[in-house]
Structure 1
Amino acid sequence: MTVLVREFRPEDAEATAEVLRAAIPFLVTTPQEIVWSVAHANPASAYRLLVAEIDGRVVGRAQVGLAYESGTPGQAYANVYVHPEHLGQGAGSLLVRTAEEHLAFAGASSVYSWVLDEPGNRAFAQRRGYLARRSARFLRLGLAEDTLPPLPEVPAGVELRTAADFAADPRPLFALDAETTADEPSDVGAELDDYEGWLTSTWGHPGLDRDLTVVAVVDGVPAAFTAARTDRVSRYTSGMTGVTRAHRGKGLAKLVKAHSLHRARAAGLTEAFTGNDAGNQPMLAVNKWFGYEICATEVRHVRELGIG
């Protein structure tokens, strides 16, 4: 048995997507998105997608890069997944080691990694010097069961639009995304200040469904949104739901997400997924109202390079 770690190639896309589907089925992705993400990575991220092979078969992958949107320099990430049928064969260890070497060379001092909250996964991380930090929940909602709550009434003064309505000028959505992202709970904060980069990484993302992405507009200005990504077949995931500071506590997050989910069901999608920081009680409460159920927990771990 020979384990090899190398750079991702476009012909690996289907096998790499299969690793994700098997290891973490709550993520919604496609081979096309994987190829696109590699091709359109911001150079400032020093992004690499590594794959692990055993006897020529792709059995693992690591998404690796610098958190270049963070206000704290030196922060990086390495998210490693191995197909469950090939655990314990050395692929994960080699992926982690190769990822850390790349990040150290790129100037990283801290590496963050999401780890499924299962004994084997946490022990793997701890043996390699990673310390547990905050946790997050994966949640699932069955759309085919027709159990969505009725649509909330749209308040006076609020207009609902879709992202498609902003195709000629998406800059107001960038401003909305930037404000809400800055307040998102995380160990690694993000400051969105690169509009051109956002146009590529977010607005141009092939998984973004602009017709299902719903925006609440107040006095002509976007005040809340929920970004919908799909696999264009049956699965829907919430990329982000956010409300500007001036309009929080008014039910707008529930409003935009309700309309997006109802649109998704009408479009024939059958499963909805989302993820929430364990400390984000307001959004967890909103998702509980919709009927989402927790299906897994991840724990973010960190390792300081050069220690241990």
Structure 2
Amino acid sequence: MPTTIVPRVIALDTDRLTASLPRGYRARPFEERDRAPWIAERNTWYGLMEQGSAEEWRIWEAMSPDDSLLRLVVEDESGRIAAMADVSNGGAFRHPDGAQSGGVSVARPDRGKGIASSLLAVILDEAVRRKAPRFLAGASAAHPDSLEWAAKRGFREIGRRIESYVELASFDPSPFSAGVDEVRRSGIALRTIDEILDGRDGESRERFIRALHDAEKPMWEDIPWATPTPHWPFERFRQIAFESGQMISDASVIAYDGETIAALTTTGKRESLDGYTWMTGVGRAYRGRGIATAIKVEALLRAKAKGLRAMLTTNDEPNKAMREINAKLGYQLLPAHVQLEKPLLH
């Protein structure tokens, strides 16, 4: 596992924020020791398949350090964390117009006291200082009170991202076998990234990574994102996908038509039990031939053989084609992540 790098977090004078909080609370910059207790609190808000860990949070931030990140916590007199807020330029997925992303969360015992409003004012002020035209946030569709709170403060819904999962122990590939065989008979070869890279030297490995990045770009551009999300630069792609240690390369499947990458599905680690589909895409000239289903089935079989518990994925709501494929494969829906936007005045 790569060395953990804790990204630098921008500090802020918190005295003014503390003065706006209810008596008995104080604000301070986020510290590394805050991860575990805050995750423990957040896990009480979500179902089992939506819960996380401090280590997973730490790994993802180490994969893509974000020097624009401002993160604050509010604690009570005992030192218990009551709330957290953050703002950044989007990190790995920066917005072309300079929009800032972030949010505010408050522990259940501390809600209804004005803490969230005080935190929101601070991070919106910071976004305005950065000359951001808008602020992007989100909330679970399972938390209508959060959505109502945001709407009252000028946020509007701009999209929904739908997470789902399939339990691998019960996944049965037999209903899809004929379709997968037909794809193979058409001349499409299905190979894992682990198989593709086996025995390659550094130069050959680099050529494959670049070819994969180039093949992914038009697929990425066809995703119906709620807000413009440019394809990540090659160096960032290589670092996150191939140097972070988080890809499950023997459950990441590439479909080849000769030497041409026709489709791909890449899988990353999620905690120690599950896999997570990072990206599934099919080249524009190869769509409508069942290739997406074939590579998904192959990836699920590989993940099941590894003893993983589940495979998770996220799709934008308008991406009906992929959502229908996942439904046929037995994926179960989790509450949607509602994407929110607030225009900022300067």
Question: What is the TM-score with the length of structure 2 in the denominator?
Answer: 0.76
Distance in 2 of aligned mates of 1:207 and 1:23 = 26
Letter in 2 for 1:140: Y
Q: Does 1:258 align with 2:282?
A: no
Specify whether residues 85 and 219 from structure 1 end up closer, same or farther in structure 2 by C-alpha distance, changes over 3 A only: farther
Q: Does 1:96 align with 2:120?
A: yes
Aligned to 2:129: 105
User: Which has the larger share of helix?
Assistant: 2
Asked if structure 1 preserves the Cα contact closer than 8 Å seen for 2:63 and 2:244, the reply is no
Specify whether residues 199 and 83 from structure 1 end up closer, same or farther in structure 2 by C-alpha distance, changes over 3 A only: farther
Distance in 1 of aligned mates of 2:246 and 2:53 = 8
Distance in 1 of aligned mates of 2:140 and 2:109 = 16
Letter in 1 for 2:127: L
Matches within 5 A, 1:192-207: 192=231, 194-207=233-246
Q: Aligned with 2:304: secondary structure?
A: helix
Aligned to 1:220: 259
Report the number of matched residues: 306
Aligned to 1:74: 98
Letter in 2 for 1:101: D
Give the one of 54, 70, 81 matched to 1:31: 54
Specify whether residues 73 and 211 from structure 1 end up closer, same or farther in structure 2 by C-alpha distance, changes over 3 A only: same
Larger Rg: 2
Aligned to 1:57: 80
Aligned to 2:64: 41
Q: Aligned with 1:246: secondary structure?
A: helix
User: Which has the larger share of strand?
Assistant: 1
Asked if structure 2 preserves the Cα contact closer than 8 Å seen for 1:70 and 1:189, the reply is no
Asked if structure 2 preserves the Cα contact closer than 8 Å seen for 1:237 and 1:274, the reply is yes
Q: Does 1:125 align with 2:150?
A: yes
Aligned to 2:37: 15
Asked if structure 2 preserves the Cα contact closer than 8 Å seen for 1:135 and 1:298, the reply is yes
Aligned to 2:12: none
Distance in 2 of aligned mates of 1:58 and 1:202 = 33
Asked if structure 1 preserves the Cα contact closer than 8 Å seen for 2:171 and 2:330, the reply is no
Aligned to 2:219: 180
Letter in 2 for 1:97: A
Asked if structure 2 preserves the Cα contact closer than 8 Å seen for 1:178 and 1:192, the reply is yes
Specify whether residues 115 and 217 from structure 1 end up closer, same or farther in structure 2 by C-alpha distance, changes over 3 A only: same
Distance in 2 of aligned mates of 1:201 and 1:238 = 14
Aligned to 1:145: 170
Which one is further off, 6-15 or 259-268?
6-15
Distance in 2 of aligned mates of 1:258 and 1:294 = 18
Distance in 2 of aligned mates of 1:116 and 1:60 = 17
Aligned to 1:171: 210
Give the one of 238, 248, 268 matched to 2:287: 248
Give the one of 170, 191, 203 matched to 1:161: 191
Asked if structure 1 preserves the Cα contact closer than 8 Å seen for 2:162 and 2:316, the reply is yes
Distance in 1 of aligned mates of 2:246 and 2:112 = 33
Specify whether residues 90 and 42 from structure 1 end up closer, same or farther in structure 2 by C-alpha distance, changes over 3 A only: same
Distance in 2 of aligned mates of 1:212 and 1:143 = 13
User: Unaligned stretches of 5+ in structure 2?
Assistant: 1-22
Structure 1 residue 279 displacement after superposition = 1.2
Asked if structure 2 preserves the Cα contact closer than 8 Å seen for 1:139 and 1:294, the reply is yes
Identity in percent:
23
Specify whether residues 17 and 280 from structure 1 end up closer, same or farther in structure 2 by C-alpha distance, changes over 3 A only: same
Q: CA RMSD in A?
A: 2.9
Structure 1 residue 246 displacement after superposition = 2.0
Structure 1 residue 2 displacement after superposition = 4.1
Specify whether residues 101 and 270 from structure 1 end up closer, same or farther in structure 2 by C-alpha distance, changes over 3 A only: same
Which one is further off, 26-35 or 223-232?
26-35
Structure 1 residue 74 displacement after superposition = 2.4
Letter in 2 for 1:293: Q
Structure 1 residue 281 displacement after superposition = 0.7
Q: Aligned with 2:250: secondary structure?
A: coil
Letter in 2 for 1:15: P
Distance in 1 of aligned mates of 2:86 and 2:218 = 26
The Cα offsets for residues 243-274 of structure 1, whole Å up to 9 and x where unpaired, read as: 12222222222111111111111111122222
Distance in 2 of aligned mates of 1:53 and 1:172 = 49
Asked if structure 2 preserves the Cα contact closer than 8 Å seen for 1:59 and 1:83, the reply is yes
The Cα offsets for residues 134-193 of structure 1, whole Å up to 9 and x where unpaired, read as: 223222222223445544224232222223334822112211232222121112222225
Letter in 2 for 1:32: E
Which one is further off, 198-207 or 244-253?
198-207
Q: Aligned with 1:250: secondary structure?
A: coil
Question: What is the TM-score with the length of structure 1 in the denominator?
Answer: 0.85
Give the one of 231, 236, 247 matched to 1:208: 247
Distance in 2 of aligned mates of 1:246 and 1:65 = 37
Letter in 2 for 1:34: W
The Cα offsets for residues 25-48 of structure 1, whole Å up to 9 and x where unpaired, read as: 5447543342244345355x7234
